[in-house]
Chain A
Amino acid sequence: MSAGETPAVALAAQVTSKDPATGLRAVLELRRLLQELERLHVDNARAQGWSWENIASALQVSRQSVHEKHAGRRKAAGLENGHD
């Protein structure tokens, strides 16, 4: 372990790619990153006046699923006012 390397980096370098824990952890983190990216871009779409219908269509999911996932969060953050 060279100076400046964190234990986590050293650990990541030690594990082999065949270790399922490494791959599965990467999948988990990718899913989390994807969720954050989705929030960011849904917020941007709403800020630009996109309807839930249009956002759902762009993401190729149902309107209900995108609304369930984002409307409550946006309301809680004071980002949604009025009806949609």
Chain B
Amino acid sequence: MTEATSVFDRFTELAKRALAASREAAASLGNDYVGTEHQLIGLAEAAGTASEVLRAHGAEPAGLRAETTRQFEAYVQAHGDPVPRGQVAKDALSWLGIDVAEIQRRAGETFGPGALKYPRAHYSGRAKMVLQSSFRQARELGKQQVDTEHLLLGILETQGSATRVLAALGVDTQALRQSVLDRAT
């Protein structure tokens, strides 16, 4: 192997697809960040051990999406709309005299609609913790690469929006964790 090792080499193909699905889940729910709740939806929607175990415990993609939306709306009710980072970013550039919409329009003309993504959804602090935890989970289970089950273990270890969604759906997270471990060893 001549190529430099990149962070992507630390994930299996299925895990990479699940992470891509979580980014899409965030976008389709209208969120401009990737949180643990989107990682959970991505894992449920993509193929892999995590998806199978989640379904076996009654956590289907549709149910996860509905509950995630419900909790987000409840948050907005209580705290107001989170500041739209995308607008703040565009305002900062417009202050410099840069018209992002125009740049995106020209990029779209040449390379197709939506070719220039800006601003890109960023990972929440907890979503980053999930990734770090998944590296540790894989290592402890003696695996070279992080697979979907390690990401799911990371989510279960990192208390956050995802574990709140699972709790609201009546999923027994202890039993879920045990099922993952049974499959992962």
Binding site for B on A (CB under 8 A): 6-9, 11-12, 17, 22, 25-26, 28-30, 32-33, 36-37, 40, 44, 64, 67-68, 71-73, 75-77, 83
Contact = CB atoms under 8 A, between A and B. Distances in A.
Interface string B31-45: 000000000000000
Contact of B8 (A7, A67, A75): A75
Interface in B81-103: 83-84, 87-96, 98, 100, 103
Contacts, number: 77
Nearest to B107: A40
Given A17-B95, A67-B4, 17 more contacts: A8-B84, A9-B87, A12-B94, A22-B92, A22-B95, A25-B92, A29-B89, A30-B93, A32-B89, A33-B103, A33-B118, A36-B117, A36-B118, A40-B107, A72-B8, A73-B8, A76-B11
20 contacts: A8-B91, A12-B94, A12-B95, A17-B95, A22-B95, A26-B95, A29-B93, A30-B98, A32-B120, A33-B98, A37-B107, A40-B111, A68-B4, A68-B6, A71-B3, A71-B4, A72-B7, A72-B8, A77-B20, A83-B2
Interface residues of B, number: 33
B115 interface: yes
A71 to B, nearest CB: 6
A21 to B, nearest CB: 10
A63 to B, nearest CB: 11
Given A8-B84, A8-B91, A40-B107, A29 B119 contact: yes
A76 B95 contact: no
Contact of A12 (B9, B91, B103): B91
B96 A26 contact: yes
Given A8-B88, A71-B6, A30 B119 contact: no
